[in-house]
Amino acid sequence: METILFLAFTDDEGKLAKAQLETLTAARLLTDGLPDAVFCAGFIGGAAQPAADQIAACGAGRFLAAAGEDFSQPRYATDAEAAEALARAAGATIILSAGVSRWSRIAGGVAHRIGGRADTHATMLRAANGAPEIQRWYYRQRMIATIQRKHRPWVISVDPGCFEPWTGQTGTASIKNVAVAVGDGDKRTRFESFKAPAANQQTIRPDAELLLVAGAGWTKKQRDGQIHVPDAEKLILGFLDKTQASLGGSKSLVDQSGDGNTVLSFMTHLNQIGQTGATPRHPKGLATCCHGEEPHVVGWRFVTQRRAVNLDPNCGWAHGKADVLYVTDAFEVMTKVNELLQKQT
Ligand SMILES: Cc1cc2nc3c(=O)[nH]c(=O)nc-3n(C[C@H](O)[C@H](O)[C@H](O)COP(=O)(O)OP(=O)(O)OC[C@H]3O[C@@H](n4cnc5c(N)ncnc54)[C@H](O)[C@@H]3O)c2cc1C
């Protein structure tokens, strides 16, 4: 019989963020597929009651917490101590947590402490013939593996963006606080602050409905024999401003700054999509001035609806890589699109 522990970090208000709620959906799916499984929830953070109340109706038999000042900030030693204590208190055979940075830092260590095994980047969980199994991708999303393990405890990180966030009635949950032996040595690392770009400079928005990809074509000579980088910047930023889309780039484009070429000032290597870049999960994607070569398109694996604008009817997108290819000038298209968006506001 499995005891499944949904383990989550709480936010500054003591609540659960989207990635945690997605993992709760995964945990519920797995539990529901294993009729005799026991399901419990565990929280680590400054406060836990708001989180427990938020998911009071999730069907957990027990709500456990390691909460308080010692756990309010991310720190390997205290987070790992807390996760170990919660896993032991629950008697968990399977521990599921969202693969956010705070958990990814400790997942392997926690598995080691409890004599378990860890798997990361799970994109699917299910019960198959009464046994839990997960799927994850390898070789930059080119191969998918289905994994079962006999060893317990089994620690699993669930990739954000793969499940719908759990929704249900709030309520009043009764929490059991689990004692965690935190010594002074555990608190040598001090968290100071998050550093993030100002909201209007932040172009990477993992939760956005739409991904706009800009390719190197934006910085190439156009039909008039000139390059039009300032126009390109204005069009792309105008579109992002109006749609709050996330911005991706091709490798050729993001590499240009290193090559001393004329560049889009807001484009960095963090924006790169593809084999050596990111593999985001947006419902829709629009590629502009990007050729759609395989090393780039492999980063679109999890983008559900793909469209591209390219002057070249024989570009990579035309070879089955996009659902819709508009063979036209992206400068003209995006000017028109921005005008239409402007009218809507
Ligand atoms: C090991 C390896 C790893 C790689 N990893 C990645 C990766 O992670 N991500 C990645 O992106 N690439 C990666 N690449 C590079 C990849 O193969 C391509 O070279 C790159 O994606 C090309 O970028 P691009 O399409 O923006 O540029 P280009 O190939 O220069 O294409 C520009 C496109 O813009 C179009 N265009 C120009 N003007 C307009 C206009 N006005 N309107 C519409 N279209 C226009 C052109 O028709 C052209 O198709 C990798 C390559 C290797 C070998």
* Residues sharing a CB contact under 8 Å with residue 340, sequence separation 6 or more, in sequence order: none
Output the pLDDT for position 257: 67
Cβ of residue 329 lying under 6 Å from some atom of ligand 1: yes
Q: What is the pLDDT of residues 251-279, one digit of tens each?
A: 999 998 666 666 788 899 999 999 999 99
Ligand 1: nearest atom to the Cα of 216 = 26
Specify the 3-state DSSP secondary structure of 323. coil
pTM of structure: 0.83
Ligand 1: nearest atom to the Cα of 272 = 9
Residue 139: which pLDDT band, with cuts at 50, 70 and 90? confident
Cβ of residue 216 lying under 6 Å from some atom of ligand 1: yes
- pLDDT for 84 beyond 80: yes
- By most ligand atoms within 8 Å of CB, the mutation choice from 223, 224, 251 for ligand 1 is 251
Cβ of residue 14 lying under 6 Å from some atom of ligand 1: no
If you take atom 52 of ligand 1, which residue's CA is the nearest one? 295
Cβ of residue 217 lying under 6 Å from some atom of ligand 1: yes
199-344 and 3-187 share a CATH fold: yes
At residue 212, φ and ψ (nearest 5 deg) are -105, 120
Q: Mean pLDDT across the stretch 276-303?
A: 95
Comparing CA positions, the residue from 50, 49, 59 lying closest to residue 24 is 59
Question: Regarding the domain delimited by 3-187, which CATH topology (the fold level of the hierarchy) does it fall under?
Answer: Rossmann fold (3.40.50)
If you take atom 30 of ligand 1, which residue's CA is the nearest one? 216
Cα(251) to ligand 1 centroid in Å equals 7
- ∠ CA 246-140-199, rounded to 5°: 20
Cβ of residue 251 lying under 6 Å from some atom of ligand 1: yes
Determine whether 11 is exposed, middle or buried from the number of CB atoms within 10 Å of its CB (0-12, 13-18, 19+).
Answer: middle
Across all residues in the chain, what is the average pLDDT?
Answer: 95
| C-beta separation of 98 from 19 below 8 A | yes
For residues 260 and 179, which has the higher predicted lDDT (pLDDT)? 179
Q: What is the pLDDT of residues 203-213, one digit of tens each?
A: 999 989 999 99
Cβ of residue 289 lying under 6 Å from some atom of ligand 1: yes
Q: What is the pLDDT of residues 44-59, one digit of tens each?
A: 999 999 999 999 999 9
Q: What are the strands of the beta sheet with 124-128, ordered from one edge?
A: 124-128, 131-138, 143-147
Domain 199-344 in CATH 3.40.50.1220 = yes
Residue 142: which pLDDT band, with cuts at 50, 70 and 90? confident
Q: What is the pLDDT of residues 227-256, one digit of tens each?
A: 999 999 999 999 999 999 999 999 999 998
Cβ of residue 290 lying under 6 Å from some atom of ligand 1: yes
Domain boundaries, the chain: 3-187, 199-344
